[in-house]
Chain A
Amino acid sequence: MILEAKGLRKLYGEFCALDGVSLGIDAGEFVSIVGPNGAGKSTLINILTGVVRPSAGTVRFKDREIGGAGPARLARLGMARSFQLVHVFPDLTVLETLQAAVVARLGRAARLFRSLARDREVQAGALEVAELFGLADKRHVPARQLPQGDKKLLDVASAFALKPVIILLDEPTSGVSTADKTAIMDTLVTASKRIGLRAIVQVEHDMDIVFAYSDRIIALHQGKVLADAAPGTILADQRVMDTVIGRKAASPRALSC
């Protein structure tokens, strides 16, 4: 098991965002986390990626306890992530963005006097990822001038440039037109094979995407795991389908754990 969480609980004051969530991600899996708004998806991703420290419970990554380890350390350990809202470096070009990721991966971020332009490994590594994501033609365009879809792609591409073991994507296709969604997902899957990624975890709202690409679906509801099964099983479970996809969550909750 690559990533394993046990008994995760997160309280924000009285509000209980996560209430005893356990899950495991195996090598070779593409897992989607779904659930209505406020189910605790973002909190879960933030805990799994070390941004938020759980109130209780443990997260183990590659057999190491990583609760609250911080994103920089996790990135170096081989866990990458992308954000729900696009995160780019506005003044850096596509290539520079990817170079930064490669530099970080190779542990060269503290090289003060070496020439970046003459670092062949970094140059080639960045270009390879740009090509993989179809961004090679725009490699000299500053990120802020890219269309929204490309920004999203660049955000994900920079996470891939880390050649991580596992990648956690917070709504990789949000804010993108339906037509582009499939293209992004196909690019993602192809790229993950090329770089030898072991597992992908995504939070996603678009159920067509979820059912088309996932090996397993974890449905959250009111901070608890409602179901954790293959897409076929989920589809057959009327209760889960109603809660997660059918209507919005029954009522806004203010439960205490």
Chain B
Amino acid sequence: MKGGLAVALGAGAIAAAPLVASTYHVLLMLPFMAYAVVLLGLNLLFGYAGLVSFGHALFIGLGAYTGAFLTTHAKIRSLEVILLAAAALGALVAVPVAALCVRYVKIYFGMLTLAFGMVFYTFVLKFYRLTGGDEGLPFLRPSLLGQSLDAMPKTDYLVGPYYYYSLAVLGLAALGMWRIVHSPFGLCLKTIRDNPAKAETLGIGVTRHRFYAFVISAVYAAVGGALLGPPTGNVDPTLAYWTHSGNIVFMTLLGGFTSFFGPVVGAFVFIYLQNWVMSVVPYWRLIFGAMLAVIVILAPDGLMGFVTRRRPALAGRT
């Protein structure tokens, strides 16, 4: 019950932010919500299936480029169509990638996802005519629910309709993921994370479940990636670069992968902290690196670990 209240308060605070917070801070909420969608998916793989991917920037990039390509080359501006296309393409690319990756676990899985991520990054960089190479591709302002909002000043569009659209997508994504982790499928994923050999003797298809979890996480990453485009109005290859994959793993650890909303909290703190540290000191990576070390050593359950006060469940076991 307390959890439900916290979620309601959190959602209310996000919904009220444009009314009370400065435009500057409200604009920062946009990448937060996009990353929150990505991380809800990533954590199905990380926290629930026990597989750490270092290649999910591939799917973020895929989603973002889908939107950019559709708005600039195909003259499709509907965000609903863009998100559906991103999800479909994410699933399509994830199927062969997942089929190969989920045969491996631990570091081999991580390295294989990293390798696929690098292949995609190079593809984005080199196929200039499709992707714009290192300059990237414009992501033209999408229409929302069939309403073209081109006449609106950009900031008004972003802190108004686009903001609430993102919030609605995040809400739906969270609801869907909540159902997934509390389904029979979600329980089976946890058995596989804890003890795959035992799960198999119970008749649970270990590889098959990992495969589904991977594909679902890729769909979430692609949808979140597409949401990252409109605020900047441009997508570029850094979205698909492997350090970006590392960042989202960092966000997950920061918030806590053993809790459902941990990664969402992680995304929020990461974005605001990064923004603040960058404005104060030029070497933000140094600060963040030290922070990551502290989290792994002292607080393996992340920030949510302090809230839930659970024992560090998975520390040192993966």
Contact = CB atoms under 8 A, between A and B. Distances in A.
B195 A104 contact: no
A172 B209 CA distance: 29
A113 B183 contact: yes
- Kindly state the interface size class of chain A when it binds its partner: 35 or more
A91 B183 contact: no
Interface in A53-109: 70-73, 75-76, 80-81, 83, 87-92, 96-97, 99-101, 103-105, 108-109
Contact of B313 (A73, A91, A104, A119): A91
Given A87-B195, A111-B184, A104 B203 contact: yes
Interface in B169-200: 176, 179-180, 182-188, 190-191, 193-195, 197-200
A109 B204 contact: yes
Interface in A147-174: 155, 158-159, 162
Interface in B295-318: 313-314, 317
Nearest to A107: B203
Contact of A100 (B202, B205, B313, B317): B202
Given A111-B183, A115-B179, A89 B200 contact: no
Contacts of A104: 188, 202-204
Given A72-B200, A105-B203, A112 B185 contact: yes
A88 B191 CA distance: 9
Contacts of A158: 198, 202
A81 B194 contact: no
Contact of A87 (B183, B198, B208, B313): B198
Contacts, number: 113
Given A115-B183, A116-B184, A88 B195 contact: yes
Contacts of B179: 112-113, 115
Nearest to B195: A89
B212 interface: yes
A117 interface: yes
Contact of A103 (B180, B188, B201): B188
A87 B197 CA distance: 8
Nearest to B258: A91
Nearest to A106: B184
Contact of B201 (A71, A99, A122): A71
A100 B197 contact: no
B187 A103 contact: yes
B184 A117 contact: no
Contact of B194 (A75, A89, A112, A116): A89
Given A71-B201, A162-B203, A100 B188 contact: yes
B209 to A, nearest CB: 7
Contacts of B313: 90-91
Contacts of B202: 75, 100-101, 104, 158-159, 162
B219 interface: no
B201 A116 contact: no
A70 B206 CA distance: 12
A114 interface: yes
A170 to B, nearest CB: 11
B13 to A, nearest CB: 28
Of listed A92, A103, A155, residue having the most chain B CB within 10 A: A103
Contacts of B198: 83, 87-89, 155, 158
B197 A108 contact: no
B199 to A, nearest CB: 7
B47 to A, nearest CB: 11
A89 B191 contact: yes
Contacts of A236: none
Contacts of B183: 111-116
A111 B185 contact: yes
A110 interface: yes
Contacts of A76: 203
Interface in B203-255: 203-206, 208-209, 212
B48 to A, nearest CB: 11
B197 A92 contact: no
Nearest to A76: B203
Contacts of A73: 203
B206 A72 contact: yes
B190 A96 contact: yes
Of listed B179, B180, B202, B208, residue having the most chain A CB within 10 A: B202
Contacts of B194: 88-92
Contacts of B212: 110, 112
Of listed B176, B186, B205, B317, residue having the most chain A CB within 10 A: B205
A118 B34 CA distance: 31
Contacts of A101: 202
B258 to A, nearest CB: 8
A119 B187 contact: no
Interface of B: 176, 179-180, 182-188, 190-191, 193-195, 197-206, 208-209, 212, 313-314, 317
17 contacts: A71-B200, A72-B200, A88-B198, A91-B190, A92-B194, A97-B191, A100-B188, A100-B190, A108-B184, A109-B203, A110-B184, A111-B184, A112-B185, A113-B176, A113-B183, A114-B183, A116-B182
Please give me the 7 A-B residue pairs with the lowest Cβ-Cβ distance, nearest first.
Answer: A75-B203, A89-B194, A87-B198, A104-B203, A103-B184, A111-B184, A76-B203
